[in-house]
Chain A
Amino acid sequence: MSKRKIKRNTIGVLLVLTALYLSLIAYFCYAVLFYGSRWFADSYNTRVKMDETNPRIIPGSIMDRNGVVLAETKDELVKNPTTGKDEKYYFRVYHNEAASVAHVVGVNHSKYGRMGVEAFYIYYLMGYNNSLIEKIYQKAFLPQERGNDVVLTVDFRLQDYVSGLMRKQGKKGSVVLINPKTGEILTMVSHPTFNPNDMERVDDDSLVNRATQGLYPPGSIFKLITAASALENIEDIRQRKFNCTGAVEFDGERIQCYKGEAHGELDLTQALVVSCNTTFASLGIEIEWKDLLKTGKRFGFNDDFLFSDIKVKPSSLPIGYRTSKQEMAWTAIGQGKVLVTPLHMAMIAATIANDGIMMEPKLLYKVVGRNGDIQKQLEPDVYRKVLDKENAEALKNMMVKVVLEGTGKQAQSNKITIAGKTGTAEEGSKDESNKNIAWFVGFAPVDNPTLAIAVLLEDVGQGETGGTQAAPLARKVLEKAVELGY
Chain B
Amino acid sequence: MPAKEYEILALTMRYWFVLLILYIFVRSLVSTVRYLSNVKATAEESTGNIPFVLVLFALTAFVLLSLNGKLDVLTLLMGILVCSTFLFQYLLLCYLFGGIDRYLLLMVDTLCIVGFIMLQRLQPALAFRQVEWFGLGSIFLLLTILYVKFFKHWDKLNYPLMIIGLGVLILTLAIGKEIGGAKNWIQIWKYNVQPSEFVKIILVFVLSADLKTNKNRLRRLPVLLFTASVILLVVLQKDLGAAFLYFCLFVFLYYIATSDWLIAAGASFLASLGAFISYHLFGHVRTRIAAWRNPWADVENKGYQIAQSLIAIASGGWVGLGLGLGSPYVIPASKTDFIFAAICEEMGILTGVSIIGLYLLIMVRGAVIALRAKKPGDTLLAMGATISLAIQSFTIIGGVVKLIPLTGVTMPFVSYGGSSMLVSFGLLGIMQGIAIKNNQKKQDKDAQQHGEEDERYDEQEED
Contact = CB atoms under 8 A, between A and B. Distances in A.
Q: Do A and B come from one complex?
A: yes
A6 B374 CA distance: 11
Contacts of B4: 139-140
A132 B256 contact: no
A47 B376 CA distance: 53
A16 B371 CA distance: 16
Interface string A107-142: 000000000000000000000000010011001100
Given A17-B390, A24-B398, A139-B4, A40 B311 contact: yes
Interface in B373-396: 376, 379-380, 383, 387, 390-391, 394
Contacts of B363: 14, 17-18, 21
Interface stretch (B229-237, B278-286, B352-360, B451-459): B352-360
Contact of A29 (B214, B326, B353, B394): B353
B327 A140 contact: no
A307 interface: no
Interface string A431-454: 000000000000000000000000
Given A1-B376, A6-B257, A39-B313, A31 B402 contact: yes
Interface string B291-310: 00000100100000001101
A27 interface: yes
A39 B11 contact: no
Contacts of B307: 39, 42, 44
B401 A139 contact: no
A24 B398 CA distance: 7
Contact of B379 (A10, A42, A140): A10
Given A17-B391, A25-B357, 17 more contacts: A1-B257, A10-B367, A13-B256, A16-B252, A17-B390, A20-B394, A21-B356, A21-B359, A24-B397, A24-B401, A24-B403, A36-B313, A38-B314, A39-B311, A46-B327, A139-B4, A139-B7
Given A6-B256, A10-B256, A28-B401, A39 B310 contact: yes
A45 interface: yes
Contact of A32 (B349, B364, B387): B349
Nearest to B349: A32
Contacts of A259: none
A5 interface: yes
Contact of B315 (A31, A35, A40): A40
Contacts of A40: 311, 314-315
A10 B401 CA distance: 28
Given A6-B256, A9-B259, A27 B8 contact: no
A42 B296 contact: yes
Contact of B12 (A1, A13, A21, A132): A132
Nearest to B211: A1
B313 A32 contact: yes
B71 interface: no
22 contacts: A1-B376, A7-B371, A10-B371, A11-B367, A13-B367, A14-B363, A17-B367, A17-B390, A17-B391, A21-B356, A21-B359, A24-B397, A24-B403, A27-B403, A28-B352, A28-B353, A28-B401, A31-B401, A31-B402, A39-B307, A44-B307, A46-B330
A228 to B, nearest CB: 32
Nearest to B404: A24
A32 B314 contact: yes
Contact of A44 (B252, B311, B357, B367): B311
Contacts of A20: 390, 394
Contacts of A46: 327, 330
A240 interface: no
A254 interface: no
A20 B387 CA distance: 12
A129 to B, nearest CB: 10
A397 interface: no
Interface in A401-442: none
A85 interface: no
A3 interface: yes
B258 interface: yes
Contacts of B367: 10-11, 13-14, 17
A95 B327 CA distance: 32
B370 interface: yes
A14 B364 contact: yes
A468 to B, nearest CB: 38
Interface of B: 4, 7-8, 11-12, 214, 252, 255-259, 296, 299, 307-308, 310-311, 313-315, 317, 326-327, 330, 349, 352-353, 356-357, 359-360, 363-364, 367, 370-371, 376, 379-380, 383, 387, 390-391, 394, 397-398, 401-403
A16 B251 CA distance: 13
A324 interface: no
A13 B327 contact: no
Contacts of B330: 46-47
B380 A6 contact: yes
Nearest to B345: A47
A3 B257 CA distance: 9
A228 B326 CA distance: 51
B253 to A, nearest CB: 9
Contacts of A45: 311, 315
Nearest to A27: B403
B370 A10 contact: yes
Contacts of B299: 42, 44
A28 B355 CA distance: 12
A53 interface: no
B257 A21 contact: no
A135 B214 CA distance: 66
A73 interface: no
Contact of A6 (B252, B310, B314, B376): B376
Contacts of B214: 1
A7 B308 CA distance: 43
A3 B376 contact: yes
A29 B370 CA distance: 31
A76 B271 CA distance: 63
B345 to A, nearest CB: 9
A169 interface: no
B313 to A, nearest CB: 7
A37 interface: yes
A139 to B, nearest CB: 5
Given A42-B311, A47-B315, A18 B364 contact: yes
Given A44-B311, A139-B7, A13 B356 contact: no
A42 B391 CA distance: 31
Contacts of A16: 252
A28 B356 CA distance: 10
A25 B361 CA distance: 13
A98 to B, nearest CB: 26
A5 B214 CA distance: 13
A18 B360 contact: yes
* Residue from B296, B327, B403 having most chain A Cβ neighbours under 10 A: B403
Nearest to B214: A1
A21 B315 contact: no
* Residue from B214, B315, B371 having most chain A Cβ neighbours under 10 A: B315
4 tightest A-B contacts by CB? A39-B314, A14-B367, A9-B256, A36-B314
Contacts of B315: 40, 45, 47
A428 to B, nearest CB: 22
A139 B3 CA distance: 10
Contacts of A25: 353, 356-357, 360
Contact of A140 (B8, B352, B360, B390): B8
A384 to B, nearest CB: 25
A136 B256 CA distance: 56
A100 B318 CA distance: 38
Given A13-B383, A39-B310, A21 B256 contact: no
A40 B364 CA distance: 34
A486 to B, nearest CB: 35
A18 B335 CA distance: 27
